[in-house]
Amino acid sequence: MAKETMKKPTSRKSAAHYSSASGTPSTRRKGGKKRSTKKKKKRGMIIAVEVLLILVVLIGFYVVSKLDQLQHPDMGEGDTSVNESIEEDTVATMSGYTTVALFGLDTRESGQLGKGNRSDTIIIASINNDTGEVRLASVFRDTYLDMTTGKFNKANSAYSTGGPEQAIKMLNKNLDLTIEKYISVDFAAMTDAVDLLGGIDIDVDETEIDHLNNYMVETSKVTGVASKPLTHTGLQTLDGVQATSYCRIRYTAGDDFKRTERQREVIQELVRKAKTMEISKINDIINAVFPKIATNYSNKELLEMAPQMIGYDIADTAGFPFDRETGTISGRGSCVIPVNLAENVRQLHEFLYENYDYTPSSEVQKISEQITADTGY
């Protein structure tokens, strides 16, 4: 379209502008007005787009500023090594999933999430990249496993000895996994999240209520959050201190096995409730919880994952090892003993990845034989 030539206005109103002193627009003026209106609309659209772009940029900076509250410790290169003899088909199957290690730390100092803290909770999360289906497998913290050094101990001691790096190595070596990413939280973060969500609904039974109330004393002291003991059993809304204390119960039938079920139950309720919250409330949760989380996910990776997370659904949960015994091992105390680790790992791959053709690596077979030699199982 040819560029229109515009005359500079003069000091007098000429006939080109008005046909009479009354100010009635002329025919030429009508055409000019139409062109002017189109230009104004075009300028208006340009301004609207510019404003939108500015808002997007501002929102981007805002989200990044929130992510900067997370702790991002440097784990270095190649620090999450995997077993060399894992079959290629197994690696190919796992590549269709995102596998993340989740650690809940029993730390008494909020925000201190490195080595020196035992991982009270160890959960492997597998996310089907195509469907968004999430499966959670709790590794019982007292499970007798190779610490990757040839020395065997309880699974939760790996984090205490070498932080998340050592804990991930331990999971990869014993379970034929290829985990690279982790997220660690302390229980104060859970307390804050539950409170900001307005509580979560949990069915508390008669065997749990007294233990829950007893744990509340220490939970309140560590988090600095006040709460009231439960007065009755049954389905009820628990606040942050109560829900966190519920997660910590281990002195009922089922011991640590039942405790991990409670932890997964609380996680499921948190996810369900969070999906119903408004953005402003999610923002409050981010401000309160992010400083108490450590991860080796970069801000860029988290931003790319954010749109997909909305569609994630927890499909199933389980505890590992599936086949187990408990026993006292010299120098290690009471442990959860996998009855044939290799078979348990086969079941784990079936659960996490629906891989029915998995064959344990030679490394897992060797660890399995050593556990049998040490424990008789």
Q: Looking at residue 289, which CATH number applies to its domain? A: 3.40.630.190
pLDDT tens digits, one per residue of 264-295: 999 999 988 888 888 777 778 888 888 888 88
pLDDT at 8: 42
Query: Considering the domain boundaries, does residue 132 fall inside one?
Result: yes
In three-state form (DSSP H/G/I as H, E/B as E, the rest C), the secondary structure along the chain is CCCCCCCCCCCCCCCCCECCCCCCECHHHHHHHHHHHHHHHHHHHHHHHHHHHHHHHHHHHHHHHHHCCCECCCCCCCCCCCCCCCCHHHHHHHCCEEEEEEEEECCCCCCCCCCCCCEEEEEEEEEECCCCEEEEEEECCCEEEECCCCCEEECCHHHHHHHHHHHHHHHHHHHCCCCCEEEEEEHHHHHHHHHHCCCEEEEECHHHHHHHHHHHHHHHHHHCCCCCCCCCCEEEEECHHHHHHHHHCCCCCCHHHHHHHHHHHHHHHHHHHHCCCCHHHHHHHHHHHHHHEEECCCHHHHHHHHHHHCCCEEEEEEEECCCEEEEEECCCEEEEEECCHHHHHHHHHHHHHCCCCCCCCHHHHHHHHHHHHHHCC
Give the model's pLDDT for residue 35. 55
What mean pLDDT is predicted for residues 300-305? 80
In a domain, 363, yes or no: yes
Residue 47 domain flag: no
Which pLDDT value is given to residue 13? 40
Percent above pLDDT 90 for the chain: 54
Residues 331-365: tens digit of each pLDDT? 999 999 999 999 999 999 999 999 999 999 999 99
How does pLDDT run across 178-216, given as a tens digit for each residue? 999 999 988 888 899 999 999 999 999 999 999 999 999
> Which tens digit of pLDDT belongs to each residue from 236-259?
999 999 999 999 998 887 777 888
Q: How many domains does the chain have?
A: 1
Tell me if 144 is assigned to some domain: yes
pLDDT tens, residue by residue, 34-55? 555 555 555 555 556 656 555 5
Q: Please check whether residue 110 lies inside any domain of the structure.
A: yes
pLDDT at 79: 60
Q: The domain containing residue 274 runs over which residues?
A: 68-375
Q: Is residue 20 part of a domain?
A: no
Averaged pLDDT of the chain: 83
Domain assignment of residue 31, yes or no: no
Statement: residue 89 has pLDDT above 70: yes
